[in-house]
Amino acid sequence: MRLSRRLVLAAALAPLALSVIAPGAARAQQAPTSLLNASYDISRELFEAVNKEFVPAYKAKTGTEVKVDQSHAGSSKQARSIVEGLEADVVTFNQVTDIQFLVDKGFVAKDWQTRLPNAASPWYSFPAFLVRAGNPKNIKSWDDLVRDDVKLVFPNPKTSGNGRYTYLAAYAFALEKFNGDVAKTDAFVKKFLSNVVVFDTGGRGATTSFVEREQGDVLLSFEAEVISAKDAYKDKNFVVVVPPVSLLAEFPVAVVDKVVEKRGSRQLATDYLTFLYSPEGQTVAAKANNRVVDAKVAEKFKDRFAPVRLVKVEDVFGGWANVQKTQFASGGKLDELFVGQ
Give pLDDT tens digits for 132-141: 999 999 999 9
Buried b / exposed e over 278-313, threshold 16 CB at 10 Å, is bbbbbbbbbebbbbbbbeebbeebeeebeeeeebeb
What is the mean pLDDT of the segment spanning 310-321? Answer: 95
Count CA atoms closer than 13 A to 8's CA, side-chain side: 8
Give pLDDT tens digits for 191-210: 999 999 999 888 889 999 99
What is the mean pLDDT of the segment spanning 154-182? Answer: 94
* Residue 338 pLDDT: 83
* Residue 341 pLDDT: 54
**d(C-alpha 78, C-alpha 99), whole Å:** 10
Give pLDDT tens digits for 222-265: 999 999 999 999 999 999 999 999 999 999 999 999 999 999 99
| Residue 125: pLDDT over 70 | yes
Confidence of residue 147 (pLDDT cuts 50, 70, 90): very high
| Residue 25: pLDDT over 60 | no
How far are the Cα atoms of 43, 200, 280, 319 from residue 322, in angstroms, in the given order? Answer: 27, 26, 36, 6
* Residue 263 pLDDT: 97
* Residue 27 pLDDT: 46
* Residue 6 pLDDT: 44
Specify the length of the chain in residues: 341
What is the mean pLDDT of the segment spanning 56-79? Answer: 93
More confident residue, 210 or 18: 210
Q: Return the closest-CA partner of residue 245 out of 181, 173, 317, 304.
A: 173
Confidence of residue 24 (pLDDT cuts 50, 70, 90): very low
* Residue 22 pLDDT: 46
Give pLDDT tens digits for 88-113: 999 999 989 899 999 999 999 999 99
* Residue 339 pLDDT: 63
Q: Return the closest-CA partner of residue 162 out of 208, 222, 205.
A: 222
**Which value, in Å, is the radius of gyration of the alpha carbons in the chain?**
20
What is the mean pLDDT of the segment spanning 175-182? Answer: 98
| Residue 10: pLDDT over 50 | no
* Residue 340 pLDDT: 53
pTM for this prediction: 0.85
| Amino acid making up residue 305 | F
